[in-house]
Structure 1
Amino acid sequence: MKKWAPLLLSVVLLLIQIMGYLQLRRFPAFVEKWYSMGIYTYISRAMRIGLGWIPFSFGDILYVLIIILVIRWFVIHFKEVVTLSRKRYTQVFTALNIILAFFHFAWGFNYYRQPLNEILELDATYTDEELIRVTQKLVFTANALHEQLQPVDSLKVEFTRSQSELFELAPSGFSNLGAVYPSLDYGPASIKKSLLTLPLTYMGYSGYLNPITGEAQTNGYIDNYKTPVLILHEMSHQLGFAKENEANFIAVLAGMNHDDLYFQYSATIFALGYCLNDLSMKDPLQMELARAAMHYGIIENYQDLRDFWAPYNDNVIEKISQKTYESYLKANNQPDGMRTYSYVVALLVNYYK
């Protein structure tokens, strides 16, 4: 029995961890106070200060090294793994325990924090009339911004700044927002182009947060209207908003409160896109009326993003990665996976109505 003790212990510890995390979901106020607004604020700043000065993605290099070492380990110990070696399986379960614990302590507990609508004291539901009203407001704002950035209403707004320039500008949106919501003040920056942009593109991702290093990673190929709001989205993850829909909403707030018109435009038409999608399901006629009121150049900006993704749509890598990420989201307290339109729209409508 003693020979099996290390393996049994590692398996039991993993099960205890998983059950503990499942139970923790029942106490969002506790997580909010002690982790998201407590311990994590220091972890996040320390990571950004520690690695933000490095001009390249340290996390991407770390990921590649980890993948190489894991493959090497399995190649070397393949026979022992296949033959169910106690020693090797103990090592595997011990590693899983360490990885899961570190992930949650470094960032993952944010999945269990209070819903954003409760933090900002917003309703989680909305009426069709409110949706129509907010969509009309966004169309008006989008048209006004488009006129300032592009004198020809049938042409798209051109985004010519490099991502590096946008990285420098992005934090001020959170600084302006921090005057209203102090917990959203960003602080030291750590935003970088992903060194893995090519595989990231084939996987269908615009960017990601590395929970191991706290670095915000962006798809280096994207240079259209979504780039500013994409950067703000990944920065929102750094602030502890782990859920995709909530990070989208925070990015919209930061963009609309930014001093730069391009950030304002990016955030506005990003929010408008969500409302139009929701409206198309609830009242197609009102959606068509809203679309008809938009400058055609805004539609061209939307098309620009679709054109970027078109060559990569429906490839095998994307299908596998999207399915995997969908499962990851559901396992981390996001039961709707990537289908989160209604909650994002609820936040938008109740904030801007």
Structure 2
Amino acid sequence: MLKSYHKKRFWAGILLAQFLLFFIFSKLRFAVSFFENLFEIQKKTHQLLFAWIPFSIGDVIYILYGVFLMYLIIKLFRKKTRNKALLKILIVLNITYFIYQIFWGMLYFQTPVILKLPKTDITLEKRKILALEYLKKAKATRGLVQEDQNGVFLIKDLNSIEKEILKQQKNLPRFITSKQTCQINSFKPSLFDDMMSFTGILGYYNPFTAEAQYNTNLPPSYLPFTLAHESSHQLGYAREQEANFIGYLIGVESKNSELKYSTEYFTLKSLLNSIVYEDEKFVKNVLENYSEEMKKDRLNEKRFISEHQGWLNDFFGFTNNLFLKSNQQEGSVTYSYFIDLLVRYKSLDQK
């Protein structure tokens, strides 16, 4: 019993030491740079290992991990196995935390993209001008895509969108990113897509396998930009709003009308969300000026959201918000950082 107690104290101490060590690393520029370089190596290795498999290996790992943890938790309630189970949980947590931090966690402390862009005031007027610009662009691009029998935007070839995203990664502005692009297609449908629809999660990046998972049930207007967003994580952008911005850069200049429309439409919605509390009348006017095709897409999105409301949505929204804030981010309910990046970037057009 005494030996087991000392082992548990040892692993608890190791976990605490890891928290302290990675906190110190997060403050050291050379340490963060080391993990950025390490990410490039593990990303390529993992994509070579897992990309060719037609289903998500990362999701399988999550399932097995969850089952194993549940098994250990059940063991905690049995007196005979409690000590061993607690010891194993501490060991598993140590290993998981260490792998996560070296593969992904430290990337949250990279030099923010915003420092690579010119300073400018993020005024309401500038956001309104951009909203009208992207309304015009989205209306024009919407006329180039296909529709289903209900007049809703239809994706004709998802694979071509994935290839276009990988191609556009190579065209990202060099003053913003020097990250290494990888032309290996590692987009995977999530094994949890039905559950994801009730959580508000559109997609996610698996740092243990370098796979970009997406929800196949999403409205088509969401999906192309979601893929661009997750591909930004694959490039090494950990912060959610920076991944949105890199996804925007990938999609906005695309020759693929489906990707371009989804990106322009996302940008327009983000701008309107940043304006609505300051000028609700303006937002209502923009919504009324959507093309009839865009109005159908918006109605389809609203229908999807209303059909998948529930406690899971609230729970995952709350927990994701806490996670983002714990990793130097604003939280899931704000668009301000993405809009800040967008306005700064667009200010370059006036120079």
Q: 1:97 corresponds to which letter in structure 2?
A: N
For residues 339 and 236 of structure 2, what CA distance do their matches in structure 1 show?
20
Look up the SS of the partner of 2:197 in the other structure. Answer: helix
Aligned match of 1:56:
55
Matching residue within 101, 110, 113 for 2:98: 101
Deviation at 1:185, TM superposition (A): 3.1
Deviation at 1:262, TM superposition (A): 1.2
Match runs of 1:1-353 below 5 Å = 4-27=5-28, 29-30=29-30, 33-36=33-36, 38-80=37-79, 85=83, 87-118=84-115, 120-123=116-119, 125-149=121-145, 158-177=153-172, 181-183=177-179, 185-313=181-309, 315-334=310-329, 336-353=330-347
- Structure 1 residues not aligned, in runs of 5+: none
For residues 276 and 235 of structure 2, what CA distance do their matches in structure 1 show?
32
What's the TM-score once normalised by structure 2's chain length? 0.88
Q: Do the aligned residues in 2 keep the contact of 1:174 with 1:184 (CA within 8 Å)?
A: no
Inter-CA distance 91–179: structure 2 relative to 1 (3 Å threshold)? same
Q: Do the aligned residues in 2 keep the contact of 1:31 with 1:110 (CA within 8 Å)?
A: no
Which sits farther off after the overlay, 270-279 or 201-210?
201-210
For residues 186 and 171 of structure 1, what CA distance do their matches in structure 2 show?
7
Q: Do the aligned residues in 1 keep the contact of 2:76 with 2:82 (CA within 8 Å)?
A: no
For residues 347 and 79 of structure 1, what CA distance do their matches in structure 2 show?
53
For residues 155 and 260 of structure 2, what CA distance do their matches in structure 1 show?
15
Divergent runs of 4+, >6 A:
none
Deviation at 1:72, TM superposition (A): 2.4
Q: List per-residue Cα deviations over 1:258-286 (Å, max 9, x = no partner).
A: 22111111101101100011111222333
- Please, what is the CA RMSD of the aligned residues? 2.6
Look up the SS of the partner of 1:339 in the other structure. Answer: coil
Q: List per-residue Cα deviations over 1:23-79 (Å, max 9, x = no partner).
A: 44434x44553322x221111121112111111111111211222222223334531
What's the TM-score once normalised by structure 1's chain length? 0.88
Which sits farther off after the overlay, 173-182 or 201-210?
173-182
For residues 44 and 9 of structure 1, what CA distance do their matches in structure 2 show?
32
Q: Do the aligned residues in 2 keep the contact of 1:146 with 1:298 (CA within 8 Å)?
A: yes
Q: Hey, which of these two has a bigger chunk of helix by percent?
A: 1
